[in-house]
Structure 1
Amino acid sequence: MRNKAGWRAWAAGGALVAAAVIAGGAQAETRITYKSAKAGTSYYQMGVELSEAIKQGTDGDVILTVEESQGSVQNVMEAAVRPGSFIFTTPPALVGLAQAGKGAFEKRPSEKFKDVRALFPIPSLTMHFVIAGDEAVLPLSALEGKSVLLGKGSFGAREGEKYLELFDLKDKVTIANAELGNAADALKNGQIDAFVTSGSFPAPNVVETAASADIGLVSMTDEEVEKTGRTRAVIPAGTYAGVDEDVVTTSLPVIAYTTTAMDADTAYLVTKTFWEEKARLSETAPWWKAVSPELLSEVEGKLHEGALRYYEEAGIDVPEQLK
C-alpha cells in the first residue's frame, strides 16, 4: 500500500510539473493581431513578411497573425475597441485626427484613441509618375500634352489629381478612363502616355511596366516637394530598369502603432526584433531598405514606453514630443 501510495504521489507530482511546463510554454508564446491592408496588396504582403521576421527573430515566442483590413481609417477605429496586444498600420496624420476627434473620427470620437502608441515605421507610400519613353528622369512639365491614367479611389489617385491642380497641369493633360490595374499593358500598347501610382518602392506595377517598355519617372525639385506639403523621398538609381538616376518625389509615411494595452516588455521585444531583422527583410524584399529611424520624425502621438526603451538603449535619437 505504501508503494502504491508513493507511486500515486510521484505521479501526481509529475503531472503537476508537466502542467506547469506546458502552462509556462503557453505563456511564453505571445500572439498579436497585426491589422494590415487589403489582401493582395503590397502592404498585406509586408505584413506577412514582418510576421515571418518577428517569428524568426524571437524563436517563435511572438506570433503576429496578419488580418486583412479595408483601410487605415478602419485600422485606427479598431484601436479603440481591440483588447490586448494589437498592432495596426496607418499614416500618422490619421492618429492625430482620431485623437483630436476630427475628420473621419468626428462622428465616432473615443477617449481610447488617446491610448494609441507608435512602435516603428514601415515602408512609405511613395508617389510615382511613370511616363513612356527613353528619357529616364523627367520634370513635372513633361506630363503636358500626355494622356495620364490616375486610377480611382486610391491615395495615389487623389494625390496625383491634387498635384495636377497644384502645378497647373490639370488642363494640360488628358485623364484616361481606365483601371490602374491595367496600367502596364495600357502604357505598353500606347493607350496611355503616363500613369500615376503610389506604393513602396520598388512598386510591383512599375517593375512590371519597366520590364516590358521604356519608361521614365518624374523627379521633382525641392521647391516642388515643399509645395505639396508631403515628405521628400528619393527612389535610388537602378530601382527600376532603365532609370539609372536618383528620382526625387514625395511620400506618405506609414507607421506601425499599438495601444497602451500592450505591455512594455512586448512592445520592447517587437520593436527590437523589427530593427534587428530589418537587414534580412531588406534582402528578400527591397522596399524595407527605405525604412530608417529618421522616419520617427513623422510620427504623430507618442511612442509606446517599451519602444522608447529600445530606442534609448540603441542610441537612436527620438524627437522630444514622442516621449
Structure 2
Amino acid sequence: MVSSVNRRKLLKAAGVAGITAIAGCLGGDGDGGDGDGGDSSQLSWHAGGQSGTYYPLSNEFKSIVDENTDYSLQVQSTGASVANVGSLGREEADFALIQNDVGYFAANGTGLEEFEGEPVENLRGVATLYPETIHIVTQADSGISSIQDLEGTTINTGDLGSGTQVNALQILESVGITTDDFEEQNSGFSSASDQIKDGDIDAAFVVGGWPVGAIEDLATTSDISLVEVPEDVREDIKSDAEWFADDTIPGGQYGGIDEDVETVSVQAMIATHTGVDETVVEEVTAAIFDNVDELSTKADFISVDSAQEGMSIELHAGADAYFN
C-alpha cells in the first residue's frame, strides 16, 4: 500500500488538477453530486436518523474529509439503509451508510420486496465500519423476557422499509413469529422510545452501534430491559441469514442494565455507486482511513485492517485502489 503521506499528496494534486474535469462523474445528473447543479466539490452523503449512530458518525467523517481533501461532504439525515440504497441507485447521493445485509439484497435483487428481481447494479462498496447491534427494548415490568414472549404483542420494528425492519422481521421469523402473530408499528428510534415510555407498544427493535442515543435517553426516564437472544436462537438466525454475527451489548451501556446482553448484529458500511469518479472515492476513503484516530464515534471498531470484513458487495474501483 502506498504510504498515507504520499497518497494524500498524490490524491490532493489530482483533485486540484482534475476537479472540474470530473464534475460530470460525481453522481446525480452530472452536477457534482450536490443535487442542485452546484459546486462540483460538494459531495452528497446520506446518513440516517439523527437519534441513531449513522448521523453523528457521518458528521465526523465530514469534518475529516473537509479538512483533508478539496471536497466537502453534505450530510443529510434520511431513513437509513433501504432509503440510502435507493438514493445511490438513482445517483442522488454520492456516498451513504447502509447495512451490509441490505447492500447484499440490493446488489443481488433479492431478499426485500423493493429489490426483488431488480438489482441495483450500480451499487458499490467502500468499507465496513462497525457492528450494528440488534437491541430489543421493552419496559422492565413488561413481562417479556424472551423473543418468544413477543408473540401477541405490539412491536415497533423500525421505519417502514428500513434495515431495522428487515432485521426485526428476519429474527422474529427465525423463531416462528410471523406478521400475523403480532401488531406491527413503524417509526424511527426516537418515536419508538417515546412509545415504550408511554406504554403504546410492548417492545421495539433498534439496530445501531451501542450505545444508541435514543435508548440512552429512554433509560434516564424509564426502567427498561433488553431482551436477550440466546445461543440456540442465534444459531437459528445465523443459519437463516448468514450476514448476522454473534454480538454482545456490554453491561453499563444503558442505565439500569448492568449485565451483558447476548444478541446478534449486522455490519454498518460505506457505499457509493459507479457514477462517482475513482479518484474521488479513493481520496475520500484515504482521508477517512488515514485519520481514524480523529474519530470518537465507534472509534474502537473502525480501522483499515477490518474495513473489508463482512463486505457484501463489489468494491468501487477507488476503494479497491486504496485498500488493495
The answer, yes or no, to whether TM exceeds 0.5 is yes
- Report how far residue 87 of structure 1 moved: 1.9
Which has more radius of gyration?
Answer: 1
Equivalent of 1:278, from 276, 292, 299? 292
The one-letter code of the counterpart of 1:298 is G
The whole-number CA distance in structure 2 between the counterparts of 1:213 and 1:155 is 26
Distance change >3 Å, CA 217–CA 97, structure 1 → 2: closer
SS of the residue corresponding to residue 297 of structure 1 reads: coil
SS of the residue corresponding to residue 279 of structure 1 reads: helix
Equivalent of 2:41, from 31, 35, 40? 31
Query: Contact between 1:129 and 1:197, CA under 8 Å: does it hold in 2?
Result: yes
Equivalent of 1:92, from 97, 100, 103? 100
Count residues in correspondence: 280
The whole-number CA distance in structure 1 between the counterparts of 2:287 and 2:320 is 14
Q: Per-residue CA shift, 1:79-105, capped at 9, x if unaligned? A: 45549x922333334444454455534
The whole-number CA distance in structure 1 between the counterparts of 2:276 and 2:159 is 37
Structure-1 residue corresponding to 2:138: 131
Structure-1 residue corresponding to 2:32: none
Distance change >3 Å, CA 272–CA 237, structure 1 → 2: farther
Structure-1 residue corresponding to 2:3: none
Distance change >3 Å, CA 191–CA 250, structure 1 → 2: same
The whole-number CA distance in structure 2 between the counterparts of 1:98 and 1:148 is 26
The whole-number CA distance in structure 1 between the counterparts of 2:77 and 2:301 is 24
- Report how far residue 51 of structure 1 moved: 0.9
List runs of 5+ in structure 1 lacking aligned partners: 1-22, 313-323
- Report how far residue 309 of structure 1 moved: 4.0
Does residue 199 in structure 1 map to residue 212 in structure 2? no
Alignment of 1:1-323 (within 5 A): 27=19, 31-37=41-47, 40=50, 42=52, 43-56=54-67, 58=68, 60-67=69-76, 69=78, 72-79=81-88, 82=91, 86-102=94-110, 104-105=114-115, 113=121, 116-133=123-140, 139-140=146-147, 148-150=155-157, 153=160, 154-168=162-176, 175=183, 181-188=190-197, 192-228=201-237, 229=241, 230-282=244-296, 285=297, 287-291=298-302, 293-294=305-306, 296-312=308-324
The answer to which structure, 1 or 2, has the higher relative contact order (CA under 8 A, 6+ apart) is 2
The whole-number CA distance in structure 2 between the counterparts of 1:288 and 1:41 is 18
The one-letter code of the counterpart of 2:66 is K
The whole-number CA distance in structure 2 between the counterparts of 1:151 and 1:304 is 29
SS of the residue corresponding to residue 138 of structure 2 reads: strand
Query: Contact between 1:88 and 1:256, CA under 8 Å: does it hold in 2?
Result: yes
The whole-number CA distance in structure 2 between the counterparts of 1:161 and 1:109 is 21
The whole-number CA distance in structure 2 between the counterparts of 1:104 and 1:146 is 27
Q: TM-score normalised to the size of structure 2?
A: 0.66
- Report how far residue 207 of structure 1 moved: 0.6
SS of the residue corresponding to residue 127 of structure 1 reads: strand
- Report how far residue 34 of structure 1 moved: 3.1
- Report how far residue 50 of structure 1 moved: 1.6
- Report how far residue 63 of structure 1 moved: 1.6
The whole-number CA distance in structure 2 between the counterparts of 1:123 and 1:73 is 18
- RMSD, aligned α-carbons: 4.2
Distance change >3 Å, CA 233–CA 290, structure 1 → 2: farther
The whole-number CA distance in structure 1 between the counterparts of 2:40 and 2:167 is 39
Q: TM-score normalised to the size of structure 1?
A: 0.66
